[in-house]
Amino acid sequence: MNTLITILFLVFAVFILVAAIMTVTVKNIVHAALWLISSFFGVGALYLLMEAEFLGVAQVLIYVGAVSILILFAIMLTRDLEGSQNRQLTPRWWIALLVPAALFGLLIVPTVMTHAWQLPPPPAGQPPSISGAQQIGTAFMREYLLPFEVAAILLLVAMIGAIVVAFEEREQRRRVLTLAEQVRLRRQRQQQVATLPEPAVSAVQPSEATGGET
C-alpha cells in the first residue's frame, strides 16, 4: 500500500507543478485561471491522500468552488481578454522573481534545517488524526481563537467595504425604466415636439442617462 501511496503522491505532485507552471506561462489569461484551478484541485487531492478529509474538501470548496469562480468573474469583467499580444515579462521581472524566491527561502530553509525528518512510527491501533473537523474546531476555539476572530472580522470588514463601494445614496438612485415606460415617455416627447414651437428641453441630460443603475 505504501508504494501505491508514493506513486499517487508523485503523480499528484507532478500534476500540481505542471499546472502551476502552466498558470504563469500560458498567454491566455482565462487558460491561466483554469490551470490555477486544476492546481488547486491537485492540492485538494494531496490532502485527501494524507487522510485529511476535512482539509481536502475545504480546499476544494474554498479554492475551486469560490476563489476560482471569483477570479473567473473578475477576468471576464475586465477588458483586453485577448492577451496574446501582451508582454509576458516586464523590464523589472527580476524583482518579481527575487521577492517570492526570498520568501520561499525564508520558509524552506528553517524547515529543512530544523525539522525532525525521522519521525517515530505512530503507535499501533488508532492512527493519530491530525486534521479531523473536530480537532480543527477545537483548535480554532481554544489555541487559535485570536487569529480566528481577527480573520472573521477582516472578512466582515471586506463585506461591509463591498457594500459601501456599491452603495448609492438615495438621492442619487435612479430607476431603470421598463420597456413600456420608455415607449410612453418617447411618445410624450414626440407629442411635445409636435405641439410646441420650440424643441422641448429633455428632462435628463444625455450624460446622466448612460450611467444608470442596471
Partner 1 sequence: MTDILRSWIGSALPDWLIVLIAYLIVTTIVLFYAVGNFILMVWAERRIVARMQDRLGPNRVGPAGLLQPIADAVKMFTKEDIVPRNADRWVHLLAPVVSLAPVAMMLAVIPWGRGWEPIDLNVALLYIVAVSAVSGVGLMMAGWGSNNKFALLGAMRAVAQLVSYEIPAVTALLTVVVLAGGMSLLNLPHLQAGVPIMGATILCNDPAGCSPLLYTTITSFPGSPNEPVQALDLGLGWWVFTPVGLLGFVVFFIAALAEGERTPFDIPEADSEIVAGYMTEYSGMKFATFYIAQYILNFALAALAATAFLGGWQGPGVAALANMGGPWVHAAAALSAFYLLAKIWILFFVMIWLRGAFPRLRVDQLMDFAWKLLLPLALVNILSASLMVSITQWTGAQWSGVVNLDGFASWQRQLIAVIVTAIINIAATYWILSINQRPAEQEWDEELVVAP
| Closest approach of partner 1 to the CB of residue 56, in Å | 9
Q: Using an 8 Å Cβ cutoff, are 23 and 36 in contact?
A: yes
| Closest approach of partner 1 to the CB of residue 17, in Å | 20
| Closest approach of partner 1 to the CB of residue 41, in Å | 8
CA distance 94 to 71: 26
| Closest approach of partner 1 to the CB of residue 158, in Å | 16
Q: What cell was used for 76?
A: 471576464
CA distance 68 to 37: 6
Q: Using an 8 Å Cβ cutoff, are 193 and 200 in contact?
A: yes
| Closest approach of partner 1 to the CB of residue 154, in Å | 19
> Considering beta carbons, is residue 98 or 185 the nearer one to partner 1?
185
> Considering beta carbons, is residue 112 or 203 the nearer one to partner 1?
203
Residues at the interface with partner 1 (CB under 8 A): 1, 4, 28, 30-31, 34, 37, 41, 53-54, 57-58, 60-61, 64-66, 68-69, 72-73, 76, 132-133, 170-177, 182, 185-186, 202-204, 208-209, 212-213
> Considering beta carbons, is residue 94 or 187 the nearer one to partner 1?
187
> Considering beta carbons, is residue 95 or 179 the nearer one to partner 1?
179
Q: What cell was used for 122?
A: 505512530
> Considering beta carbons, is residue 31 or 98 the nearer one to partner 1?
31
> Considering beta carbons, is residue 82 or 105 the nearer one to partner 1?
82
Per-position b or e across 164-174, b if 16+ CB within 10 A of its CB:
eeeeeeeeeee
Q: Give Cα separations from 2 to 5, 8, 20, 123, 162 (angstroms).
A: 5, 10, 27, 17, 48
| Closest approach of partner 1 to the CB of residue 114, in Å | 32
* CB count in 10 Å sphere of residue 56: 19
